[in-house]
Amino acid sequence: MYIKDPVLGYIEVNQNMIKLVDSIPMQRLRRIKQLCGSDFVYLGATHCRFSHSLGVMSLGEQLIVKLARDNDITTENIEEVKAAALLHDVGHGPFSHVFEGLLSKKFNKNHEHITSWLILETEIANILEKIGLSPEDISKLAVGKLNRKDQHYVDQIIASSVDVDSLDYLVRDSHFTGAEYGFIDIYRLIYTMEVNNAGNLAINLSALSTLEAFLLARFESFKSIYFHKTSRAVQIMLDEALKKADENSNFLNLDSPTEYLKWDDYTMWTFLLKNDASKDIMENIRQRKILKVAYDRTTHVKDEVVPSILTKYSVRNKIIEEIAQSAGDNIQPSDIWIDVPTLPTVPYSHSVNLEPMEIPVFQKTKNGRMISKRLTEISDIIRVLKGFLNIVRVYTTQENREKVSKAAEEILGTPESAKISM
C-alpha cells in the first residue's frame, strides 16, 4: 500500500511493514510530537514521531536498495533495514527528548535503551519472527549497534553523520516549522552514497555542494529550531514538571513495557496537570507564561571552557546558587535555570572508529577506482563548521529577569566576553 506524506510524497509500505506499523508501540508514536515545545514558536510544528518514522523507513529502503547494486546485500538485509528504520524511535517517551532527563536520572537509560527493550519485549518481537526477521538483530540495528562483520555500513544507514534519520528530520522539521533551512536534495546524497574500501558508508565528492548544504541546514536548524530559546524554555519547564511529579508520586517505572507504553503526550499532560507537585508549572505552560532568558551567550569554539564546565551538574548548581545570592531580594536557586544545549556542528556518531569531524567521502578515478578523501581538506565551508555550537543561557521568571540578568553577568561575565573564574 501507499501512504501520502507531505514531505516525501508517496511512501510504499509492504505487508510485512504494515504489521509493524499497526502495532501498539508504533501507533503510540502518533501521540508524541516530533518537536516538543517548538509549537510555541512555530505554529505548524505539531507533527509526530509516527510520520517521521515512516519517512526514515522510506529513505532507509531507498538507500539499502541502491547499495545492493554493488554489494552482497540480500532481500532479508533490505527488510532488516526497513524494519529497524521504522522502529528506530519507538522508545521515545512523552515530550520526546525532554523525557530523557527523567530516564537518565532515574534509570541511567535513554530512548535508545528503551527502543531495544520494546522491540524485544512487546508484540513487535512476535511480528518480526513471523516475517522472518530476528528481534535481537533488529533491536540492535534500530539504534545503530548491530556491528555485523563486514557490514558496518548497515549500522551507518541508521546512525551516522549523514544517516536516513537526519535526512528525514531536517526536511520534515523545516517543512512543518516553515523555517526554510531544509531545502536539501536528500535524494542526491542517497544516490551518491557507496560503501568505501574500509567498509564504511561514504559520499561521492560529486555531491559535495549538496553535502555542504546539508551540514549548513543542520547547523541553522539547531540554532533556530531545536535550540530556540522559547522552545528550550518550554522544555525546561516540562523537565521540571516531570521531575517534581515523579518525586511526589514515583509514577515512572520500567516494570513492564505495558506500563511504559501507556505514557504519551496526551496522557502525560493530563497526569501532570492533576499532580499536586507539577500542576502549577503545567498551568503556566498552558497559559503561555514561559520562562524568560536573562543571559544568552553563543560561541563556535571547540572545547570552549564555559559550556564544558557547566555541563557538570555540581558546578552548574554552584553557579546557580551564586547568581541567586548576587541577585538578592529573596530570589532562590529554584527560580533560576542554566541551559547548555551544546553539540558539534559537524555531526559525529559513527558506529565504527572514524576520525571525529570527518564525514567519509571519496572520489572515483576514470577506471572506477575509489580514492578516500579528507572532507575538511577539500571544503572551506566544512572547515569553518568544524567547531562547536556552544550556547549558555540563564532562565528565570519574568518578574526576576532584570535582577538575574545583572547577577548572571557578574558571575559569568558579559555575553561578549564571558569567563568563569573557579
The residues near 184 (Cβ < 8 Å, ≥ 6 apart) are 167, 170, 171, 210, 213, 214, 217
Grid coordinates in use for 180? 526554510
User: Please, what is the Cα angle at 290 between 287 and 292, to 5 degrees?
Assistant: 155
User: CATH top-level class for 2-229+352-379?
Assistant: mainly alpha
Which one, of 93, 82, 63, lies nearest residue 15 by Cα?
82
> Do residues 8 and 59 make contact, with C-beta atoms less than 8 angstroms apart?
yes
**What's the pLDDT at 385?**
72
The residues near 404 (Cβ < 8 Å, ≥ 6 apart) are 294, 295, 323, 327, 331, 335, 336, 394, 396
pTM, two decimals, is: 0.92
User: Please, what is the Cα angle at 186 between 180 and 190, to 5 degrees?
Assistant: 170
**What's the pLDDT at 231?**
95
Residue 348 to residue 375: CA distance in whole angstroms:
13
The residues assigned a catalytic role are: 111
Mind listing the pLDDT tens digit of every residue in the chain (422 residues)?
A: 999 999 999 999 999 999 999 999 999 999 999 999 999 999 999 999 999 999 999 999 999 999 999 999 999 999 999 999 999 999 999 999 999 989 999 999 999 999 999 999 999 999 999 999 999 999 999 999 999 988 999 999 999 989 999 999 999 999 999 988 768 999 999 999 999 988 999 999 999 999 999 988 988 888 899 999 999 999 999 999 999 999 999 999 999 999 999 999 999 999 999 999 999 999 999 999 999 999 998 876 655 556 666 667 788 889 999 999 999 888 999 999 998 876 544 443 333 333 444 689 999 988 888 999 888 888 888 877 766 677 889 999 999 999 999 999 999 888 764 443 33
**What's the pLDDT at 349?**
35
Task: Give the CATH architecture of domain 292-345+387-422.
Answer: 2-Layer Sandwich (3.30)
User: How far, CA to CA in Å, does 403 sit from each of 237, 327, 372?
Assistant: 20, 5, 55
* CB count in 10 Å sphere of residue 167: 23
Q: Where are the domains of the chain?
A: 2-229+352-379, 292-345+387-422
Residue 288 to residue 41: CA distance in whole angstroms:
11
Which one, of 345, 327, 344, lies nearest residue 336 by Cα?
327
How buried is residue 64: exposed, middle or buried, by Cβ count under 10 Å (0-12/13-18/19+)?
buried
